[in-house]
Amino acid sequence: QEQLVESGGGLVQPGGSLRLSCAASGFSLDYTSIGWFRQAPGKGREGVSCITDDGFTYYPDSVKDRFTVSRDNAARNMFYLQMNDLKPDDTGVYYCAASVALDEDTVRDICVRGDEHEYDYWGQGTQVTVGS
């Protein structure tokens, strides 16, 4: 059964850091984009980063130079989102999601578009709250 499990959320002060983890299981990670999305209260889901199976990464301007997505070199089913210099606007529920495609070009396009509707499997989400 396809499964994604996030962990690592919590309460952090502005300017602080958090690292989220995502464990994927039950499906092949070939030609796959792993996306990180967040949903602030009263708003839709927003893509904040992605990484493809061949290591391509993408970030929107809102988080560029603050967030870093990575994959564990040893445990290849583990993905991370390192978030630095957190701001109150970063508050929300963070989800990891997987989109399985047929080729690398399509995977990269999906990653860059950051459209939640193109993702097949979702985790349950983890709350991140930035405040004092």
End-to-end CA distance of the chain: 40
Q: Is a pLDDT exceeding 90 seen at residue 23?
A: yes
CA distance 41 to 99: 25
- Summarised one tens digit per residue, pLDDT across range 49-60 is 999 999 999 999
Torsion sign across C-alpha atoms 103, 105, 111, 113: negative
Residue 13 has which token pair?
A: 């002060």
Instruction: Say what percent of the chain tops pLDDT 90.
Output: 95
Apex CA 33: angle with CA 27 and CA 34, to 5°? 80
* DSSP per-residue string spanning 48-90: EEEEETTS-EE--TTTTTTEEEEE-SSSTTEEEEEE-S--GGG
What is the arithmetic mean of pLDDT over 29-45?
Answer: 95
Q: Which residue reads 């004092």 in tokens?
A: 132
Residue 73 has which token pair?
A: 């070199």
What is the arithmetic mean of pLDDT over 55-82?
Answer: 96
What is the arithmetic mean of pLDDT over 85-108?
Answer: 95
